[in-house]
Structure 1
Amino acid sequence: MAHVEPAHLVELALGHGTASEEDAGALRHIDRCRRCRDELRTMTRVVTAARTAQLVDLPAAPPERVWQRITQDLSPRPPAPRAPGDRTKRDRLLATACAVTLLAAAVTAAHRARRPRTGAG
């Protein structure tokens, strides 16, 4: 059996396991697999800590501007139109990479052209 999927481990850690054959197989695997056993143990600790947390354990709420910035960053925005001839940093890097590649190819070709040929090949 392959390793237990992380989502399935989370369900087991939350106590949402059922008496299904899938859960039974996962638990048998966890008994034999140290990696899955350690992951389940870690997830169970997180669940326990979250369930026993008190209001005083929680950090202060972030300022409203933080949530506004997160919302702004996650909102899909169309790319800003570029003026003709306006190059981005990526465009300049790409052009530089192409120029360097062409220069390397020219130097290699010139070097091979000047090298004497040895033997018939």
Structure 2
Amino acid sequence: MPHVDPARLVELALGNDAAHDDVSALQHVAACGPCREELHLMTRVVLAARGVEEADLPTAPPARVWQRIAQGLSEEAAEPTTPPPDGGGSPPSPTPAARDHTRGRSPARDAMALALGLVAGAAVVRYWRRRNR
């Protein structure tokens, strides 16, 4: 007998109306360890999602975070490049901040990554605290 379709397992986890094929699906889940575990995990996700309250939702970072990001972006845009020493045809050498930007890094990007990491970390901590009550 083939495994229960994941979409069907989701329907079972959600507790939607029982259909004719639920009997065979439930019989398979009872006999199949992987399907039983998958249904168990999906049911846990459904219960956790239904238990989310407004206080669990992530909040926007403080205004100072966005101000610092905007400041970093404006500083980066305002930094001039160093003129060539020979006054000739070689292109200007970028400033250290511009060199970091060409490698995919900038102070603003680092600040954004830090802010997103903090928000994600706070959400994980809040989830684990609620789960372990």
Bigger CA radius of gyration: 1
TM-score bin, normalised by smaller chain: 0.3 to 0.5
**TM-score, structure 1 as length reference:** 0.47
